[in-house]
Amino acid sequence: MSLLIKNGRIITAVDDYKADIFIEKETVTQIGIGLSVQADTVIDAGGKLVIPGGIDPHTHLDMPFGGTTSADDFETGTRAAAHGGTTCVIDFAIQNKGQSTLAALETWHNKASGKTAIDYAFHMIVTDMEDSRLWEMRKLADEGITSYKLFMAYPGVFYVDDGTLFRAMRKAGEDGTLVCMHAENGIVIDEIVKRAVQEGKTEPKWHSLTRPTRMEAEGVHRAIAIAEVARVPVYIVHLSSYDALEQVNIARSRGVYAYAETCPQYLFLDYSYYEKPNFEGAKYVMTPALREKWNQDELWRGLKFGDLSSIATDHCPFCFKDQKELGRDSFTKIPNGAPGVENRMSLVYNGGVVQKRISLNKFVELTSTNAARLFGLFPRKGTIAVGSDADIVIFNPDRKETISINNKITHNMNVDYSTYEGTEVQGISETVISRGKVVIKDCQYVGRKGDGQFVKRGLFTGLH
């Protein structure tokens, strides 16, 4: 099978030029002006942008959490991701307390294998790490799991103490891997939550009001300090506030290997969404919580100047009916998480490039290239180059669509609401090629369950 993409404007993190791309089987084999090659399929990308497939380094598919399971599994979630121009997700396998991380990995392989529309990889959520188990971390790296997520939040669920953090971090550093951190002081937050509930403050908005940004900043500061001593690079996931960003900024200006991602929800949504009537605020219950709107400009500044390296979704959907409903009588029982894997590229293009906050190259860097570099996928993924996987999006920069659960161009996630309902975006992923195969053609899914493969990731090499 060969494929020729003609006349497109190729944008990578550093390039911007018009050329043709020739793909043989799964790989880009030629790029040039006016290529004269015979191809089985020819796509005319005139007037369109040709960009590397998006990489979403933070999704939770088929994830048991909050007494239920996230509504998208590896089939529906990756199909929706493909619709939105994402060709690789890095999901989170979860070690149950006391369980071997290798057994946990097997469980997640079983959930995903043969089901996905696009390629996928795993981080490992570590919930305990005794000395006797440390050897598993090297084995995981050999299996292509080269990053771990540790939690300072959710005591009694995923939370680990600082000793465990340090132990796991030191080993991760020795092995050349990366630690991802959910950085919020969950112990203090739980005390604030307890008092709020005692006082009868149970509506969804109290989810946010019990989680001060200072406790996120404290977590970020502590995570980076411990990582520095453990000599491991650290990546703060779903950073939501200026207070937290400031800590990343201070550390980086001291030369510490600290990186961070933010998510569209923190760039486009804010605290006021919790005040929606009829329990609708529950749709936005996620952790960290949505912040005061003024934080958004600071996050954009962090993206523009590099203290925030990537934009992930933290896609963790729960249906409003039946799942979010579990917390009708108290916000503490609302499953934490929200959908978004499908809308990331359009939202960031619209809010970033169209609204002149970031350049086209930066758009690619934040939605694909930096995630590939940080998580051991580059240059196989995250760019358009000879020898790279043919993960390519033909992106219409002018087309406008309104995000809605009723619009099949924008909503294929298996969840009964959209956090961006009614938002018009300019910039749509029209054709999506995953390892050389067209899986989305003119916004229609034409792929098959199982097209995607597990990708073994390499060790941490930084953003150089």
Q: Which does 133 bind (CB under 5 to 8 A by kind): Zn ion, ligand URP, none?
A: none
Q: Which does 127 bind (CB under 5 to 8 A by kind): ligand URP, Zn ion, none?
A: none
Cβ 338 to Zn ion, closest distance in Å?
10
Residues 220-239: x/- map of binding to ligand URP (CB under 6 A)? ------------------x-
For the chain, what is the radius of gyration of the CA atoms?
A: 21
Cβ 84 to Zn ion, closest distance in Å?
18
Beta-strand relationship, 178-182 and 147-151: parallel
Cβ 294 to ligand URP, closest distance in Å?
22
Crossing angle of helices 135-142 and 162-175, in 10° steps, is: 50
Q: What DSSP string describes 246-292?
A: HHHHHHHHTT--EEEEE-HHHHH--GGGGG-TTTGGGGG--SSPP--
Cβ 274 to ligand URP, closest distance in Å?
14
Residues 24-63: x/- map of binding to ligand URP (CB under 6 A)? ------------------------------------x---
Burial class (CB in 10 A: 0-12, 13-18, 19+), 449: middle
> At 372, phi and psi to the nearest 5?
-60, -45
Other C-beta atoms closer than 10 Å to the C-beta of 453 total 18
Q: Of residues 173, 212, 302, 337, which one binds ligand URP by CB under 6 A?
A: 337
Q: Which does 116 bind (CB under 5 to 8 A by kind): ligand URP, Zn ion, none?
A: none
**Distance (Å, rounded) from C-alpha 146 to C-alpha 457?**
6
- From residue 130, alpha-carbon distances to 31, 136, 171, 253, 399 in Å are 50, 11, 11, 34, 53
Q: Which does 365 bind (CB under 5 to 8 A by kind): ligand URP, Zn ion, none?
A: none
Q: Verify cis geometry, omega within 30 degrees of 0, for the bond prior to 277.
A: no
**Distance (Å, rounded) from C-alpha 259 to C-alpha 113?**
30
Which residues are CB-contacts of 447 (< 8 A; sequence separation ≥ 6)? 79, 82, 117, 434, 437, 438, 439, 440
Burial class (CB in 10 A: 0-12, 13-18, 19+), 63: buried
Q: Of residues 6, 115, 167, 182, which one binds Zn ion by CB under 5 A?
A: 182
Cβ 61 to Zn ion, closest distance in Å?
11
Cβ 149 to ligand URP, closest distance in Å?
8
Cβ 339 to ligand URP, closest distance in Å?
11
Task: Point out which span in 75-83, 308-316, 353-361, 445-453 binds Zn ion (CB under 5 A).
Answer: 308-316
Q: Is 83 in the site for Zn ion (CB under 5 A)?
A: no
Burial class (CB in 10 A: 0-12, 13-18, 19+), 130: exposed
Cβ 108 to Zn ion, closest distance in Å?
14
Q: Are 295 and 266 in contact (CB under 8 A)?
A: yes
Nearer to Zn ion, 94 or 282 (CB): 94
Cβ 64 to Zn ion, closest distance in Å?
13
Q: Of residues 313, 336, 369, 410, which one binds ligand URP by CB under 6 A?
A: 336
Which residues are CB-contacts of 162 (< 8 A; sequence separation ≥ 6)? 222, 226
Q: Of residues 136, 143, 314, 416, which one binds ligand URP by CB under 6 A?
A: 314
Nearer to ligand URP, 154 or 378 (CB): 154
Q: Is 314 in the site for Zn ion (CB under 5 A)?
A: yes
Q: Are 126 and 134 in contact (CB under 8 A)?
A: no
Nearer to ligand URP, 232 or 237 (CB): 237
Handedness of CA 76, 417, 291, 195 (dihedral sign): negative
Q: Residues binding ligand URP: what is the number (CB under 6 A)?
A: 9
**Distance (Å, rounded) from C-alpha 242 to C-alpha 251?**
14
Q: Is 286 in the site for ligand URP (CB under 6 A)?
A: yes
Q: Of residues 287, 295, 418, 423, which one binds ligand URP by CB under 6 A?
A: 287
Q: Which does 336 bind (CB under 5 to 8 A by kind): ligand URP, Zn ion, none?
A: ligand URP
Q: Are 3 and 363 in contact (CB under 8 A)?
A: no
Cβ 206 to ligand URP, closest distance in Å?
15
Q: Of residues 125, 316, 392, 428, which one binds ligand URP by CB under 6 A?
A: 316
**Distance (Å, rounded) from C-alpha 368 to C-alpha 378?**
10
Tokens of 426: 């300019």
Q: Is 372 in the site for ligand URP (CB under 6 A)?
A: no
Q: Is 216 in the site for Zn ion (CB under 5 A)?
A: no
Q: Is 213 in the site for ligand URP (CB under 6 A)?
A: no
Q: Which residues bind Zn ion (CB under 5 A)?
A: 182, 314
Give the interface with ligand URP as residue ranges (CB under 6 A): 60, 182, 238, 286-287, 314, 316, 336-337
